[in-house]
A = this chain, B = another copy of it.
Amino acid sequence: MERLEIKKGQILQRKGDTNTKVYQVESGLLRSYSIDEKGKEHIFMFAPEDWLMADNVPADLPADLFIDALEDTVVITGAKDFDKGHDTVKLIKRIGALQKRVIMLMSASAAERYEHFLKTYPQITQRVPQRMIASYLGITPETLSRVRKA
């Protein structure tokens, strides 16, 4: 357990890295993302204050995601330790959020996704560029721009 201060733009984890830590955000903003074989970024999650950032693959496998800071950020790092220190209620809430996200990705239009994002994460909306919101929603910046204009 360790307290880290990192600068905007600094990378905490790259795909393929050993993957043994989780990051509790004290202040600032992290994101995790993957890069597909066309080189396109797909943001999996943002983590502002009080959120836990983790790459959810077992600690004995290489990382699936990049993790970096979108603002100067302070985190408390913890080891991935599956047998203790986890709040079951928080894990189940996270599963619930992912359930809704999967259903939305299968069924909602770009506009509907954006509307939902605005309502659910109004604070994050103010802190990240539009192109990152587009990436998180699974659409292009151009499509997001058109959706916002409509």
Contacts and interface: CB of A to CB of B under 8 A. Distances in A.
Interface of A: 34, 36, 40, 42, 44, 55-58, 64-65, 82-83, 86, 88-89, 91-96, 98-103, 105-108, 138
A95 B88 CA distance: 12
A106 B42 contact: yes
Contacts of A98: 56, 95, 98-99, 101-102
Given A91-B88, A91-B92, A42 B107 contact: yes
A121 to B, nearest CB: 16
A83 B88 contact: yes
B94 A44 contact: no
B95 A94 contact: yes
Contacts of A83: 88-89
6 contacts: A42-B106, A58-B96, A64-B103, A65-B99, A82-B88, A82-B89
Nearest to A100: B64
A64 B34 contact: no
Nearest to A93: B58
Given A55-B99, A57-B99, A106-B138, 12 more contacts: A36-B107, A42-B103, A44-B103, A56-B95, A58-B96, A82-B89, A83-B88, A86-B88, A91-B92, A94-B95, A95-B95, A107-B138
A32 to B, nearest CB: 9
Contacts of A99: 44, 55-57, 64-65, 98
